[in-house]
Structure 1
Amino acid sequence: MTDAKAMNQDAALSAATKDRPKSSSTADMLLFLRTYAQNFLNSRLMDERRSLPPAMISEFAEAGLLGLQVPRELGGQDLSHSDLNRLFTQLGAIDANLAVFCAVHNTLGIAPILLSATDEVKGRVLPRLAAGQALTTSAISEPGIGSHVRGMTTTATRHPDGSYTIKGAKKWISLGGDARYVNIFAGLRDERGRPLGITGFLVDSRTPGFAIGPEMLTLGLRAVPQYDLTFNNLRVPPSALLGAEGNGLATAKAAFMGGRAVLAAMAMGAAMRSLELAQRFTQGREVATGSLAENGRIREVLAETAATIQAVETLISRIATWRDAGQDVPDAWYFCAKILGCELGWKAIDTSLQVLGARGFLDTNTVGQHFRDYRLFRIFEGSTEAITVYLGTTLVRHPDRFTKLVRQTRPTAPVLKLIDQVAEIGADRPDDVAAQHIHAAVVGELVCWTLLTMVTSEAATRSAMDGYTAAWAENQLQRRLRNAQPGSRGSLPTKAEFDQHVAGYAQVIGDVDQRRWPAEEWRSDPLLR
């Protein structure tokens, strides 16, 4: 980039400070969201059109929703983590598209800039982002890697003048085709080709060499498209660097850990809304045994669903309280929030849909769209299976970390006995590699339920529902401990045996690949090109 271009860009960016959104209280933003949902939002049309309402970005920016934790002097709201939870729970209850849009911009986009950009870059860029004059996101996932960040193939090369050239491709990038600023993470090499570690760069998407690929046609979350991005000799100045060279993983990790807690808050909002609708339905629905609301089995199903919601609420509230107090929060708590928040949140939606019966299966009803949209949360920012195995493997290798997690709360005596059982199972690591993967998954799940049981047991005396939730969580941990005992699982078929079994399906279902839609039909007419 030439000096003249850089000066012009700096002038344009600094002008954004003159148009900052006014500070809003959390209560103001919650009221805005509820009013917006009631009077201006049509989720069905947004889903069908695969796009956000044109006026939404400016309205959300004016309400303060695009700079939630940006400092006030830079036009943001400087929210606490507890208030951030409240807002994303509200957004999650309204529409997953709005929630993910705000989450990507605020947690994956802005957070790395806040953490690692220079003060000069923050002063130029953050006011624009908070004012809704530009959007931002992060680009980490690639066609060949998802959670395995160290397998990244996108590269950056440092030049003698301090600039960098980025080459490679990213996949599944939320807002990737809409963001003006993208945090790109790449494997850095110096002028001689020596590796310097994964490094982050804040890149203006208008830079030559930045190319936007096709939009993915997803099952849900259709209004927040996922894009492919490619970087062809993308040249960026030294000021693009996010933090120190080789420190990109730390920057990305910090943003993603916070984002995982936000995902749980969003899922809880959707679960609350879904359960609310299911409970309303039971009040007016008569069945052969009388009122559905008085049916013992339905009451049990709804109560257990409410317990899942309250348990995760307690968990993410504890994490936010620790963060607001400046306390270090070990990664395991964020993984637990992501795993159980998203798994239990989607299960609550599924249960609510089941209670609604045929009405739940209608795609025009809120719960049906939640069912499609929030299914992605079990995959988003690390699939449940991948991060459960990672968490279990980490704590099996470092059992002292599990001990430290336990000491962060004051579990009851019965819960302490269950914790001892979890530690014993973790220490009993098998020799077979495949069995080690299964063991790690079991340990990771047990650790998650242990943390959930600990925080709910501490809150058991707050109310009757808290007491029920604590007992429910403890029962869930006990059940999983029984299933984790030796001999509770059968022997796996070998890979060859399983491959042969699935290959046999061809004899039953034949070849049913659809070939009716050749690629040419998706292209423009040759005479119009």
Structure 2
Amino acid sequence: MESTGEGRSETAVATEILEFLRGYAGQRLDSRRMDERRSLPPSLVSDFAAAGLFGLQVPAQYQGLELPHRETLRVVTQLGAIDANLMVLAGVHNTLGTPPVTHFAPERVKKEVLPEVAQGRRLITSAISEPGMGSHVNAITAHAAKRPDGSYVLNGDKQWISLGADAGYVNVFARLHDERGKPIGITGFLVDTATPGFDRGPEVLTLGLKAVPQNRLTFNDLHVAADSLLGAEGEGLAAAKAAFMLGRVTLAAGGLGAMMRATELAHRFARRREVATGLLAENGRIQQILADSAAATQAVETLVQHIGTGLDEDGAVADELLFTAKILGCELMWQVVDSCVQLMGARGYVDTNVVGQFFRDYRLFRIFEGSTEAVTVYLGTTILNKPGKFTALLDELAEPGVRELGAEVVELATATATTNDQQRHVLANAVGNMACWTVLAAVTAAAADGGQMRAYSAAWCERQLRERLRDARSGVAVDLPTSDFLAEHIAGYGASIGDVEQRTLGEQNGMDQLLLRG
């Protein structure tokens, strides 16, 4: 697919991609086979490349489609409705992979690399997480040393890297030291995976998302050219944050597709399933479940659209909006998928009925780009430290009614006393969660006049916020047992269940020792 310079609107280009994906799903795709084989079909990458799916936002001058965020998120939602593996494949490449190069690489590197990745000739990803840390970027231990000629040498390990073994380029973030060993700070490097010293580790055998590899990567004295920096020395956090934050709304957009597809299937089942009282769809409790699912889906859709529009118009949106997309976008997605599995009964638990595989595949979204708990506590902590910043956001974002509820969140947060670190973490989690619901209530309230479902969704979000405020008024402090007590208690489980470690020989993944080179 060519760039948008042929007179077609950006919306028309995105719509063409949606039509391609729908046709591909119906005629070429076999999600079950991908899941069983733990791999993508050999032709899929080239097919997606021909459709433009690897250069969604790459500038046209580098052979990309240069789509705006709102249209890109439409494509991500469509991918999410079809198969989580496809959504993650395109999402990682377009969100974690290309933006650091587009926005932070030198022009010579852009001209060389971006056409390759935009046309799908090589895949690209980012390597941030490590065996001892996840999304806590400041805990990075991989290190780089600057050489007298201006080049760099990388050493260290990365873990849980999507597309890690299949990518042609990896954006690596490491701690940099100058020629005298003086620390400079976290720095981003664009690494060609064909470089000596780049070692692909084993694929992690995940619960779901089996067709997109998650790998360990190791760098052994890997040499990187001087012009392969992503931004200035010591300023790699800017590139890493840009990738992470865009990744969070991308997860919400992909999860939105899963919410729509799962609810569609559950509703289809309910309208055809006869029970003792008649059609399942006419059961009041089932109607309530479907209504809640539709309200949650509408809320996430409204938030994703709001963020996409904000990114296109202003170039940035408040971090609180992106955190809300990650936290509630993924949590509500999981609730909807889980509810649909339950509503469909035995058919929901059958892996070939779509929602069963969704249940496994999309579970990771609550962990990707920072687990819900970690991100919520972080958000809550920032609000506790700087409540005025959140208040200013609500003044800009919220209708008067929601603004008052948000003010109560801040008041409860600042008035609640804590006596230890554990209670502060519990308080921060409660504050972060209420802040997300305040943001979601504000965004949906602003769009409530867009139709009956938008109005219902806005009322539903406000009700969720009020329920959490009511619970918080009764107190968020928890008298937790000590970590030593918990450790001793849980260690005692062994007396009840015994030693059940499985020590039999499992599947052989490596070459026989007799066949290895001496």
- Give yes or no for TM over 0.5: yes
Give CA-to-partner distance per residue, 1:184-242, whole Å, 9 cap, x none. Answer: 00000000001101000001001111100100000000000100000000011101111
Give how far 1:482 is off: 1.6
**Among 229, 235, 250, the residue aligned to 2:217:** 229
Greater displacement, 451-460 / 373-382: 451-460
Unmatched tracts of structure 1, length 5 or more: 1-19
Question: For residue 510 of structure 2, what is the aligned residue in structure 1?
Answer: 523
Match of residue 407 from structure 2: 420
Counterpart amino acid of residue 53 in structure 1: P
Q: Partner of 2:8 in structure 1? A: none
Match of 2:304 among 316, 321, 344: 316
The aligned residue for residue 169 of structure 1 is 157
Q: Are 2:205 and 1:217 equivalent residues in the alignment? A: yes
Contact 2:3 2:66 in 1 (8 A): no
Identical-pair percentage: 55
Q: 1:489: Cα distance to partner?
A: 5.6
Q: Displacement of 1:416 after TM fit?
A: 2.6
Q: Please state if 1:499 is matched with 2:480.
A: no
The farther-off stretch of 510-519 and 124-133 is 510-519
Q: Counterpart in 1 of 2:124?
A: 136
Task: Note if contact 2:423-2:478 (Cα within 8 Å) is conserved in structure 1.
Answer: no
Deviation (angstroms), 1:488: 5.6
* Structure 2 runs not aligned, ≥5 long: 5-11
Given candidates 81, 84, 93, the residue that maps to 1:96 is: 84
Q: Is the 8 A contact 1:147 1:386 kept in 2?
A: no
Query: 1:184 is paired with a residue of what secondary structure?
Result: strand
Q: CA deviation at 1:507?
A: 1.6
Cα deviation 1:83-133 (Å, max 9, x = unaligned): 011000000000000000001111101010001001111111111111111
Q: Describe how 1:477-488 pairs up with structure 2 within 5 A.
A: 477-487=465-475
1:481-523 deviation digits (Å, cap 9, x = unpaired): 122224466421122222222122112111111111268x443
Please give the secondary structure, in 1, of the residue aligned with 2:397: coil
Q: Match for 2:339 among 333, 351, 354? A: 351
Give 1:353 deviation, angstroms. 0.8
Query: Is the 1:21–1:130 contact (alpha carbons within 8 Å) kept by the matching residues of 2?
Result: no
Give me the whole-angstrom Cα distance separating, in 1, the residues matched to 2:198 and 2:215.
Answer: 13
Aligned counterpart, 2:167: 179
For 1:118, the aligned partner's letter is P
Within-5 A mapping of 1:342-491? 342-413=330-401, 415-427=402-414, 428-487=416-475, 490-491=478-479
CA apart distance, 1:290: 0.7
CA-CA distance at 1:459 after TM superposition: 1.6
Following the alignment from structure 2 to structure 1, what is the Cα–Cα distance between the partners of residues 281 and 466? 29
Per-residue CA deviation, residues 352-386 of structure 1 (Å, 9 max, x unaligned), is 11111000000111000000000000000100000
Is contact 2:426–2:477 with CA below 8 Å preserved after alignment? no
Structure 1 counterpart of 2:111, one-letter code? G
Relative to 1, partners in 2 of residues 1:403 and 1:327: Cα closer, same or farther, differing over 3 Å?
farther
* CA gap 1:429/1:117 in 2 versus in 1, 3 angstroms: farther
Trace 1:30-69 onto structure 2 (pairs within 5 A). 30-69=18-57
Provide the alpha-carbon RMSD of the alignment: 1.3
1:243 aligns with 231
Amino acid at match of 1:179: A
Q: Does 1:83 align with 2:37?
A: no
**Partner Cα distance (1:265, 1:140) in 2:** 22
Q: Compute the TM-score of the two structures, normalised by the length of structure 1.
A: 0.94
Aligned 8 A contact 1:213 1:228 in 2: yes
Counterpart AA for 1:441 = N
1 CA distance for matches of 2:476 and 2:55?
50
Q: Residue 361 of structure 1 aligns to a residue in which SS?
A: coil
- Kindly report structure 1 stretches of 4+ aligned residues shifted beyond 6 Å: none
Give the direction of change, closer, same or farther, for the CA distance of 1:318–1:437 in structure 2 (3 Å limit): same
- CA drift of 1:28 comes to 0.8
Residue aligning to 1:127: 115
Counterpart selection for 1:261 from 228, 249, 259: 249
Number of corresponding residues: 508
Change over 3 Å in CA distance of 1:488–1:89 after alignment to 2: same
Check whether the contact 2:391–2:407 (CA below 8 A) recurs between aligned residues.
no
Contact 2:426 2:478 in 1 (8 A): no
Distance, in Å, in 1 between the alignment partners of 2:475 and 2:425 is 16
| TM-score, length of structure 2 as denominator length | 0.96
